[in-house]
Amino acid sequence: MTNVLTTANDVIDAIGGTKATAVVCACKNMKPVSNWRRAGRIPSEFFLVLSEELKRRGFKAEPRVFGIQPAPDLPR
């Protein structure tokens, strides 16, 4: 069972916190990640790297956390 995360804080906490997320994202310091917490959104450029890390940990993030709108359900 995969736990679905719906907020930037949930994603950052699931990775292991601000410092761990900064390391995974190859940020030079923790300030960008702290800014993501405050903004409530993670930049879309980090969607793939964080999605892979979350998958390793048994989590999945809603695309909206990254400012990405999910694809609509299309009729078959």
Give the domain ranges of the chain.
Answer: 3-66
* Residue that has been written with the tokens 């699931």 in this structure: 14
With a pLDDT cut of 90, the percent of the chain lying above it is 87
pLDDT confidence tier of residue 2, bands split at 50, 70 and 90: low
Element (H, E) at 23: helix 18-24
pLDDT confidence tier of residue 36, bands split at 50, 70 and 90: very high
Average pLDDT over residues 39-52: 97
Mean pLDDT computed over every residue of the chain: 94
pLDDT of 74 higher than 90: no
pTM for this predicted structure: 0.89
Write the class of the CATH domain 3-66: mainly alpha
How far is 74 from 43, CA to CA, in rounded Å?
A: 27
Element (H, E) at 64: none
Cα 43–Cα 46–Cα 52 angle in degrees, nearest 5: 145
The predicted structure's pLDDT at residue 47: 97
